[in-house]
Amino acid sequence: NAGVTQTPKFQVLKTGQSMTLQCAQDMNHEYMSWYRQDPGMGLRLIHYSVGAGITDQGEVPNGYNVSRSTTEDFPLRLLSAAPSQTSVYFCASSRGLAGGQIRQETQYFGPGTRLLVL
């Protein structure tokens, strides 16, 4: 299994440009999420998905869109890049629980995408 893969590894954008960060997992995980990590800080949740067709906002969703058309893929779209979005972006996945309340289990992280917005 490849686990969680992210592309690209590094990207430079100009202010106002749009782009999509790709994330894919081959573990048939129901739960996927996107985080950003700024220098010297922890991870902040941007958006998450509990299954195909279901997404919701995290702590810092403004300026980002997501969709989940398949179990495997969870792309993150930057609509109009701003310098404040310069960060390292991590995608993660975990298995969900069938029925009842979903509890967080072990998260598997991708290697990250470093984004620089000029």
Side-chain half-sphere CA neighbours of 65 within 13 A = 9
Smallest distance from the beta carbon of 54 to other proteins, in angstroms?
10
> Interface residues for other proteins in 7-46 (CB under 8 A)?
31, 33, 35, 41-45
Number of residues lying near other proteins (CB under 8 A)? 28
Partners of 20 in beta bridges: 77
- Cβ neighbours for 67, distance < 8 A, ≥ 6 positions apart: 55, 75, 77
When binding is defined by CB under 8 A, the residue of 26, 111, 116, 118 that contacts other proteins is 111
When binding is defined by CB under 8 A, the residue of 10, 15, 28, 59 that contacts other proteins is 59
E strands of the chain, at which residues? 4-7, 10-13, 19-25, 31-37, 43-51, 54-57, 64-66, 76-78, 87-94, 108-109, 113-117
When binding is defined by CB under 8 A, the residue of 78, 110, 115, 117 that contacts other proteins is 110
Q: Tell whether residue 1 is a contact of other proteins (CB under 8 A).
A: no
Q: Which residues bind other proteins (CB under 8 A)?
A: 4, 31, 33, 35, 41-45, 48, 50, 56, 58-59, 90, 92, 101-112
